[in-house]
Chain A
Amino acid sequence: MQLCDLSALELTIKIRQREVSAVEALDSSLERIRAVDGRPGSLKPGQLTAEDQKTLHAFITLTEERARRQAENVDQQLAAGEDPGPLAGVPFTVKDLFCVQGTPTTAASRILANFVAPYTATPIARMEAAGAIMLGKVNLDEFAYGSSTESSAFQPAARNPWNTSRVPGGSSGGSAVSVAAGEAVLSIGTDTAGSIRQPAAFCGMVGLKPTYGRVSRYGLIAFGSSLDCPGPIARNVSDTAAMLNIIAGPDSRDNTAVTLPPEDFLEKLESGVKGMRIGLSPDYFRIAIPDPQTGEYCQQPLPEEIETRVRQTAELLASLGAIIVDDVPMPNTRYGIPAFFVISRVEAASNLHRFDGVKYGYRTPQKMTDLNKMYRLSRGEGFGLQPKLRILMGMYVSAAQYSEQYYQRALKVRAMIRRDFEQAFDKAGKYQLDALLTPTTPTTAFSIGDIYGDSVLMQFADQLTVPANHAGIPGLSIPAGFDGQGLPIGVQLLGPDFSEASLLRIGRAYEMATTEEAWRQIKPQVLR
């Protein structure tokens, strides 16, 4: 085991006790990156080689010099007897959707390929202030629009460390890959419909979408402003809690960051699940896929291996003292994706209007005498297909004549999805749940190229994660074993607003009870 394979909490203790240096920890990560990552994503990738198909391509920009300066600084602070912070020396990666001053911040789009951020996003500033070392910016679906990372303008896109012919999930694909392969110990992603939890599940990692407003969005390039949540991806629940401790909290620069007092998510992490009420819902054990031609929905059962893992997780939690509540109705779950198709597109279209080739980013090199032509060409050449699709869809469904039919209805459906959760979690209600236990994804990691291009089918990859975004509630995905093809299966815990501590506690109880299981010893394919 190398330093880069340690957990954040183990590594920072070794560094703080000066058993190893922050520079040695950084070098260990850099060595791993050189061994498994291959070439970084680029706008001019050329042909995909056989070697490219075996490497991971998590990174767009490696900021090695910056990281080394930070690591040296941590070591100097320790040598001087100062406290460099609770994550001293822990290498982490950043989804390239967050601004970090002085580094390229691309959103995996040609339109921002030359943008160098003039300021740093609050969650990243907090990680660095806590002594963590930023290794660089990792790949994602262009503007976070996707569930596989394939839509990035920077190719080769990230690949799944458990099987490099599979997608890592998305949109925070590079984040999940970098942590799973030991390139980084932690990563920060964002979740608008499942973009932290789904890639975490596909890569066998822990991923937390915090409650909306728990983590500041200042410095995050917006997708759906009413849904976006920054959050951690880590190898275990304790590291996830430690990272949430750092990034959560009020921020005077984001008026949607709530003003709750700081909470220590590590404090009661290992208090167990005795007496906690955990629900299972039949509405999360079936999946709905629409026929693209007719729009008719076909209901299918969840793949058996995934359902079995969720039920085994429930049994194990019951054996630890949790009360399992069956048959909790969540009838509006199936409307999550249709409502998301509308709300997220309207917000995305609005957010993408700022990219116009005037103030920053890409401007067409063609000589233009007219501002309108400059806008059209810069946006036409700068945006990839997925942003264009979202702009057009968002404009259509919010147009005056269609808004009532689509946008206003979708907002009401969102309120209905929220009400399902409120009823399930109501402490005076019928179910009184502390958490709902569900699968994270309808499938395990699918093959590269299988779905990409079919924008409807791709969106349905998020059908079990998106309800939490509509409701604003927190969701935690934890690894729960593998399918018959050796691909990770994730299970999801959903809880009431600001119940991250409870979800992490349940996740940690599961983790502690399964530490010795054989599947926990399996390493990703690229590390075998």
Chain B
Amino acid sequence: MNEKISIETFEHLVELAALALSEEEAVYLRRELNHQLNAIEELAAIPLDEDLALTAHGVPYTAAISPVMRADTWQPSENPEEIIRQAPQTDFGLIVVPDIPHTDLD
């Protein structure tokens, strides 16, 4: 089997993705990633028409159907307490997190 994602690459990805994984999960996920990359291999072989423009999505948004951007003005939230209440840990209306690690730059 063609393994594009080695254990090393996988561990690097997991670190970037900020995911703690069990060993069992890691085995499953790396295997499936490799299967998926094999399944999309043929993308590389599709003859592309270079004139084709890339779009943000399928439907072209002409001026006639596009909403006008609203003014960039500050508006107070209707229910800030309700939103803050969703946070796992708060103190006096502020969200509490563990210490943020600092690295001194040279």
Which residues of A pack against B, CB within 8 Å? 115-116, 118, 211-213, 226-227, 250, 252, 255-260, 290-295, 297, 335, 337-339, 341-342, 349, 356-363, 368-377, 379-381, 383, 385, 388-389, 391-393, 395-396, 405-406, 408-416, 418-419, 453-456, 459, 469-473, 497
Contacts and interface: CB of A to CB of B under 8 A. Distances in A.
Contacts of A291: 38
Interface string B18-36: 1111000100110011011
Interface in B53-106: 53-59, 61, 64-67, 69-70, 79, 82-83, 86-89, 95, 97-101
Nearest to A410: B43
A339 B43 contact: yes
A413 B43 contact: yes
Contacts of B42: 295, 297, 335, 338
Given A295-B40, A412-B54, 19 more contacts: A115-B86, A252-B67, A255-B69, A258-B66, A259-B66, A295-B39, A295-B41, A358-B88, A368-B98, A374-B97, A409-B46, A413-B43, A413-B46, A416-B48, A419-B52, A455-B32, A455-B35, A456-B32, A473-B58
Given A339-B43, A359-B87, A379-B20, A392 B33 contact: yes
Nearest to B62: A258
B40 A370 contact: no
Interface of B: 1-2, 5, 9-10, 13-14, 16-21, 25, 28-29, 32-33, 35-44, 46, 48-49, 52-59, 61, 64-67, 69-70, 79, 82-83, 86-89, 95, 97-101
A471 B57 CA distance: 8
A140 to B, nearest CB: 20
Contact of A405 (B14, B32, B44): B44
B58 A369 contact: no
B67 A392 contact: no
A414 B46 CA distance: 12
A413 B35 CA distance: 21
A115 B87 CA distance: 9
Contact of A415 (B5, B16, B36, B55): B55
A373 B49 CA distance: 46
A259 B44 contact: no
